[in-house]
Structure 1
Amino acid sequence: MFTGIIEDLGTVNDINQEGSNLHFTITSTVTHELKIDQSVAHNGVCLTVVAIDNNEYVVTAIQETLDKTNLGTLKTGDTINLERAMKLGDRLDGHIVQGHVDQTATCTRVKEEDGSWYFTFEYDPALSNVTIEKGSITVNGVSLTVVNSKLNEFSVAIIPYTYEHTTFKNLKAGDEVNLEFDVIGKYVKRLNELRN
């Protein structure tokens, strides 16, 4: 369980393929606090730490994860958003985030506006995911509030702190991002489907 409040930026140092799996070697300032078997969200994707060596650690993404996320597009040298799992009893500063990406989206527009930024994303409506105005959405692991919600498109407003301390500063139109829709909204939607 995560909150969507990014803790650190990691750097992809190496990517190794083994069968259909990809092993990512990541450098981070929080590596020294990690343990093997610990869950860490990488651009919003919950992955398990399988090895640690000094300031580097390794996580593995299986084919299903690669099919549903943007992790397969990562290259050596890329920067990613990192968040360790929340501790029971901590404040929930973002919203309830599972680290289970629902689908990807494409950034269609970045607009700077008086010291903040608006990012617009378009996603495939065939998967029946929905956003609501002022609802929660997780974009590459960052807990955000939806503005301008449409059928298969939404925007988010990014404050300077979030822009500087996440990968949003590197995001441009055409880039693919991971989306995790609000878990409560997903349950409500599913219950309504079962009633009909």
Structure 2
Amino acid sequence: MFTGIITDIGTLVAKTPFGDGARLLIDCQYDAAGIEIGASIACAGVCLTVTALEDGGNRTRFAADVSGETMEKTTVGSWEIGDAINLERPLKAGDELGGHIVSGHVDGVAEIVARDDHEEMTVFRFAPPKELVSLIAEKGSVALDGTSLTVIEADDTFTVMTIPHTMGATTWGNRKVGDVVNIEVDTIARYVARLVAVRGADA
């Protein structure tokens, strides 16, 4: 599990075919000694498994394999060499839960349809997949490219606000209208929707 609090910005340094998907090699600042093969790292919100490690002194490179389905349903398929990627290590027992519970199981992609920059904040508006609209609520949480954010307004589109720290500590500073990002709706919203659907079917 993750919290949506980004702890590093990685760089994609290699992407090679692997089965029906790809093998990624990502450069980061994490200490290689603190990462085990098989560990999970959220990459732009996508939970990936570390399959190999390279210790480059003050930099670390880790490999992760992604399936064709993951490449189709997330932004991973469009990643290019040199792209910056939000990274987060998994939550440990006793860690502070600074964002919200994020599983790393992306629900789809959302398009940025507006960006309004103000002195103390930036407001982004997104167009999510239609099937997710009912799961996004005002004042609720949503994970976008792995970042835990609070929904301001929600109808067919929704808005979030980012502060200068978030813009500088993540990839959000470079995001523009037309970009697509990974979206994971709040886990509670997903289960409530499922419960309502099942009860409705039994009625």
TM-score by length of 2: 0.93
Cα separation, partners in 2 of 1:74 and 1:112, compared to 1, 3 Å? same
Please list, as runs of the form range in 1=range in 2, the aligned pairs for 1:98-177 lying within 5 A after superposition: 98-126=103-131, 130-151=135-156, 153-177=157-181
Runs of 4+ in 1 over 6 A off after TM superposition: none
- Residue matched to 2:30: 30
Deviation track 1:111-149 (CA, whole Å, cap 9, x = no partner) reads: 002221001110121456521000000000000000111
- Residue matched to 1:2: 2
Post-superposition shift, 1:19?
Answer: 2.6
- Residue matched to 1:20: 20
Separation in 1, partners of 2:35, 2:178: 33
Cα separation, partners in 2 of 1:129 and 1:83, compared to 1, 3 Å? farther
**AA matched with 1:181:** V
Deviation track 1:17-67 (CA, whole Å, cap 9, x = no partner) reads: 123121110100004232110000000000000000112110111112112
Q: Secondary structure at the match of 1:6?
A: coil
More moved, 109-118 vs 40-49: 109-118
**AA matched with 1:111:** D
Separation in 2, partners of 1:19, 1:185: 34
More moved, 160-169 vs 115-124: 115-124
Q: Is 1:84 paired with 2:85?
A: no
TM-score by length of 1: 0.96
- Residue matched to 1:69: 74
Separation in 2, partners of 1:127, 1:184: 13
Q: Secondary structure at the match of 1:36?
A: coil
Contact 1:129–1:181 under 8 Å retained in 2: no
Q: Secondary structure at the match of 1:148?
A: strand
Separation in 1, partners of 2:42, 2:10: 11
Residue ranges of structure 1 left out of the alignment (5+ in a row): none
Q: Secondary structure at the match of 2:72?
A: helix
- Residue matched to 1:192: 196
Contact 2:133–2:155 under 8 Å retained in 1: no
Q: Secondary structure at the match of 1:59?
A: strand
Deviation track 1:149-169 (CA, whole Å, cap 9, x = no partner) reads: 113x11110000000000101
Deviation track 1:154-186 (CA, whole Å, cap 9, x = no partner) reads: 111000000000010111000110000000011
Q: Secondary structure at the match of 2:194?
A: helix
**Count of residue pairs the alignment pairs up:** 195
Residue ranges of structure 2 left out of the alignment (5+ in a row): none
Q: Secondary structure at the match of 2:193?
A: helix
**AA matched with 1:36:** I
Q: Is 1:40 paired with 2:72?
A: no
Separation in 1, partners of 2:171, 2:184: 16
**AA matched with 2:168:** E
